[in-house]
Amino acid sequence: MTSTIVVAHGDADGVCSASLIRAALGEVDVFFSHPAGLLKDVREASEAGYSRMVIVDISLSQPHINELTEVLGSLKKKGVEIVYIDHHPWPFGVGKEVFPGDVYHMVGVSASELTYHYFRGRLEGDIERVALFGAIADYEDVTPWVIDALKRWDKRDVYYEAGILSLGLEGSRRDYDFKRIVVKLLSENTAPSTIDKLVEKAIEESRNNEEMRLRVKENVRVVGRVAYVVNPGGSLGRAAIYAYSYAGAVVGIAVEERKDGHYNMSLRTWKPNVDLNRILRRITPVLGGTGGGHRAAAGARIPIESFPRFLEMLDEALGGGSPWPG
């Protein structure tokens, strides 16, 4: 067992962040998690005897923040180094100063960019390309650092590689063993387009997304200012965008039904004055779920039977008026 465990999100930004950490620290164990499962996963990892834990690109769940702080605080007292790197909005009512360990947090940038800056002293220059892949994949490609870094590369190549990486990882879903392989290869500055399985998954996912687009168009439903589609098959984030686009709604939701009786959801909005993170952190705990993320792109997990009320509460939070400008 290595001395460091990295707990990361399983999307391209999280994978790139984990790759940068591996490039900086050497061999690490990588575990993929998400906001609703972070507390459970950290508890399990805390029993394995690691001397360093790096949590990256995972939003802190509002209902779990106090328990998570306690668990990490206990680890820190035992001498475990705790590092938290993230770009999601910070939970309400909790100061960063009380969070155990070293916190490197900023909104408006990708976790990959933050990770690159945090470990920059241990990274070689060319590996910045991996940080660019993560930033582009997470729609955080207009920061001052990204704009400057892209001048050192052919932009077309970087965006091409980022697209393959993003689509290929989306197509891999919960194939975490393969994602660990990608982490290792990226940490060695391997171009995504040279990873055969990743390219195959990207092509397949691209075709699936086109079929999904048509399914969303046929099956989207509307409740007030909210459009939703259930089990679209494919990227939930993309499906959420298609949902609000085809329905002319303010918010789009793509729902995936899980066997444990919950809906996992991705939400997207095009309106700059809508803060999905704030809304979800307020209404999901009332319904026995969790939620949060960014202002325009967020996720939630609630019991299936609570979904009708969730739609009503979300629509109420959005207010009235015409959804489209003009």
pLDDT tens, 144-185? 999 999 999 999 999 999 999 999 999 998 899 999 999 999
pLDDT confidence tier of residue 63, bands split at 50, 70 and 90? confident
DSSP element (H, E) containing 111: helix 111-118
CATH-assigned architecture of domain 4-200? Alpha-Beta Complex (3.90)
Classified as helix, coil or strand, 255 is: strand
pLDDT tens digit sequence for 254-294: 999 999 999 999 999 999 999 999 999 999 999 999 998 88
- Could you write out the DSSP letters of every residue in 144-208? HHHHHHHTTS-HHHHHHHHHHHHHHHHHHTT-HHHHHHHHHHHHTT--GGG-HHHHHHHHHHHHH
Sheet of 4-9, strand order: 29-33, 4-9, 52-56, 81-86, 102-105
Tokens representing residue 75 in the block: 């680890």
Cα separations (Å) of 70 from 100, 135, 256, 292?
A: 8, 31, 32, 21
Classified as helix, coil or strand, 114 is: helix
User: Where exactly are the structural domains of the chain?
Assistant: 4-200, 220-318
Core vs surface per residue 246-274: b (16+ CB within 10 A) or e: bbebbbbbbbbeeeeebbbbbbbbbbeeb
- Contact indicator for 267, 276 with CB cutoff of 8 Å: yes
DSSP element (H, E) containing 131: helix 128-137
Q: What is the pLDDT of residue 62?
A: 83
Indicate whether 203 pLDDT > 60.
Answer: yes
- Could you write out the DSSP letters of every residue in 257-295? E-TTSEEEEEEEE--TT--HHHHHHHHTGGGT-EEEE-S
Residue 218 burial (10 A CB sphere; 0-12, 13-18, 19+): exposed
Radius of gyration of the chain (CA): 19
Angstrom distance (rounded) from CA 281 to CA 62: 6
Is the domain spanning 220-318 CATH 3.10.310.40? The answer is yes
pLDDT tens digit sequence for 139-150: 999 999 999 999
Core vs surface per residue 47-83: b (16+ CB within 10 A) or e: eeebebbbbbbbbbbbbbbeebbebbeebeeeebebb
pLDDT confidence tier of residue 323, bands split at 50, 70 and 90? very low
Segment 84-112 shows an average pLDDT of 93
